[in-house]
Structure 1
Amino acid sequence: MSEAGLRIRFSDVGKAYRRRHLKSFLLKDILRGLAREEDETDKFWALRHVDFEVREGEMVAVLGQNGSGKSTTLSLVAGASHPTEGRVSVRGRVAPMLALGVGFEPDMTAPENAYVNASLLGVSREELSERLEVILRFAELGDFVDTPVRHFSTGMTARLGFAVAMHVDADILLVDEVLAVGDGAFQTKCLARIRELHAECRTMMFVTHDLAAAREICTRGIWIRDGEIAIDAPIEECLTEYQAYLDAKG
């Protein structure tokens, strides 16, 4: 397939974690553990043999039950973890909305944290200055704008993180169950912003259990089951298959 417009590629990707940890700190036991070949039974494969491509402008819902490998997939795209096997290729600036507000400095104000957060996403201070007013207005912080973040509610912190990520001109947005941030009016505003980004040909991967939101936002679905892709199809087909699976499980 053509490389033009390619944003994300997973090639036979696997991600494994150790099931158990070394309990003995005696030198002889540590050396024995280092000398022993790693036993496959020690591994838990969160993902295995995963292949897919995502192109510019695609809005992809990543579906599956808890523990299926959805969030692991997004963490690999974000570069927060690395594959145990296979290859992950990502082209473009990535804005991960995986744990909004994590990493904010509690003694800094909203504008100060916005500058730090944006710099971690590769945005210059000059670029952020041009968008700061829009970001703060979007976050709906009211009189708390110049208050240290430690005094924010969880929702306020999440709204600020969402607002920054949504306004940094990222090529790829990674959204993990964050559209529950705020009240109904704020969620409506978030959806409107996502539609604007779609119109600008941005790419998004959206992990969610909300099938109605997936239908509204996305054009394609990837259903992950037990660490492997069960179906990769247009959103309606994917949702129909996934819902049938859930219904059958009761």
Structure 2
Amino acid sequence: MRCSNEKIIEVKNVSMKFNLSKEKIDNLKEYIVKLVKRQLLFQEFYALKDVNFSVKKGEILGIIGLNGAGKSTLLKIIAGVLKPSEGVVNINGTVAPLIELGAGFDPNMTGRENIFLNGAILGYNQNFMEDKFDEIIEFSQLQEFIDVPLKNYSSGMKARLGFSIATLLNPDILIVDEVLSVGDFKFQRKCEERIKDMINSGTTVLFVSHSINKVESLCDRVVWLEKGKVKAIGNSIELCNKFKNYKE
């Protein structure tokens, strides 16, 4: 067994509430008037409700569920992108979230400039990024486009650059949300190989994919979410088979 008994992630009583507007507001003036008069009507919506589970160091945990079950919201909370409305998440290690690749990119800056910008956002200093620059370019295969403004990149090119930067180091925890579905087939294979290298080095992985077969083959356990609540937690093969035959 590759994982230890040490807990690296603990999700305790986590809920995420959003306020959804009940009415259509056509312009900013109308919104401000209603806000001042306290006439705005909202409906509470829980994307997650009282979610509890833990992850052991070195474990590969899949998160499954139908669209709208709360999978991506949960990953963003664990990554620190969102703060839960209720509950806490305890993390014991460094986290690399492969959720929205290149979310901090500036479209008017070149690929070269965005490498250093994104590196700074991830906490890497200038000297480190200079040392890793050639490695990033080689992996992303964007040599001919590195001095072109990012607004001229395709979505696949942006993803290639974002992935190459985000996986510079082996983190303690890797969060993967559909990142393997972007880019061309050859680059997807490169991404898979790099993630496998991280897994083999002992990195803990949280994995979400629309391909239930990938979850089944890659993960040790899965958390099954349904309408924001935990439906089941258990062996990946057993629960993935149940999920395939499940009708809500």
TM-score range normalised by the length of the shorter chain:
0.7 to 0.9
Residues 143-166 of structure 1: CA deviation (Å, up to 9, x unaligned): 112222222111100111111111
Q: Which residue number corresponds to residue 193 of structure 1?
A: 194
Tell me whether 1:25 sits opposite 2:33 in the alignment. Answer: yes
Aligned-residue Cα RMSD (Å) equals 2.4
8 A contact 2:78–2:89 mirrored in 1: yes
Separation of aligned partners in 1, 2:98 and 2:118? 12
Question: Shift in Å at residue 24 of structure 1?
Answer: 6.7
Q: Which residue number corresponds to residue 108 of structure 2?
A: 107
Q: Which residue number corresponds to residue 169 of structure 2?
A: 168
Q: Which residue number corresponds to residue 131 of structure 2?
A: 130
Question: Shift in Å at residue 26 of structure 1?
Answer: 5.4
Aligned pair in 2 of structure 1 residues 133, 219: CA closer, same or farther (>3 Å)?
Answer: farther
User: In percent, how many aligned pairs have the same letter?
Assistant: 35
Question: Shift in Å at residue 113 of structure 1?
Answer: 1.2
TM value normalised by structure 1: 0.86
AA aligned opposite 2:242? E
Question: Shift in Å at residue 4 of structure 1?
Answer: 6.9
8 A contact 1:128–1:168 mirrored in 2: no
Q: Note the 1:1-250 alignment, pairs <5 A.
A: 5-20=6-21, 25=33, 29-30=37-38, 42-245=43-246, 248=247
Separation of aligned partners in 1, 2:8 and 2:123? 17
Question: Shift in Å at residue 234 of structure 1?
Answer: 2.2
Residues 165-220 of structure 1: CA deviation (Å, up to 9, x unaligned): 11133222221111112222211111111110001111221111111222333222
AA aligned opposite 2:123? G
AA aligned opposite 2:199? H
Question: Shift in Å at residue 47 of structure 1?
Answer: 0.6
Counterpart of 1:88 in 2: which secondary structure?
strand
AA aligned opposite 2:33? F
Separation of aligned partners in 2, 1:7 and 1:207? 18
Aligned pair in 2 of structure 1 residues 126, 220: CA closer, same or farther (>3 Å)?
Answer: farther
Which is further off, 151-160 or 85-94?
A: 85-94
8 A contact 2:22–2:43 mirrored in 1: no
Question: Shift in Å at residue 103 of structure 1?
Answer: 2.2
AA aligned opposite 2:52? D
Which is further off, 157-166 or 120-129?
A: 120-129
Aligned pair in 2 of structure 1 residues 227, 129: CA closer, same or farther (>3 Å)?
Answer: same
Q: Which runs of 5+ in 1 are unaligned?
A: 34-38
Question: Shift in Å at residue 27 of structure 1?
Answer: 7.5
8 A contact 1:59–1:218 mirrored in 2: yes
Separation of aligned partners in 2, 1:26 and 1:64? 38
Separation of aligned partners in 2, 1:220 and 1:123? 32
Separation of aligned partners in 2, 1:66 and 1:13? 19
Question: Shift in Å at residue 16 of structure 1?
Answer: 0.7
Aligned pair in 2 of structure 1 residues 124, 56: CA closer, same or farther (>3 Å)?
Answer: farther
Q: Which residue number corresponds to residue 36 of structure 1?
A: none
Separation of aligned partners in 2, 1:117 and 1:56? 27
AA aligned opposite 1:55? K
Q: Which runs of 5+ in 2 are unaligned?
A: 24-30
Counterpart of 1:42 in 2: which secondary structure?
strand
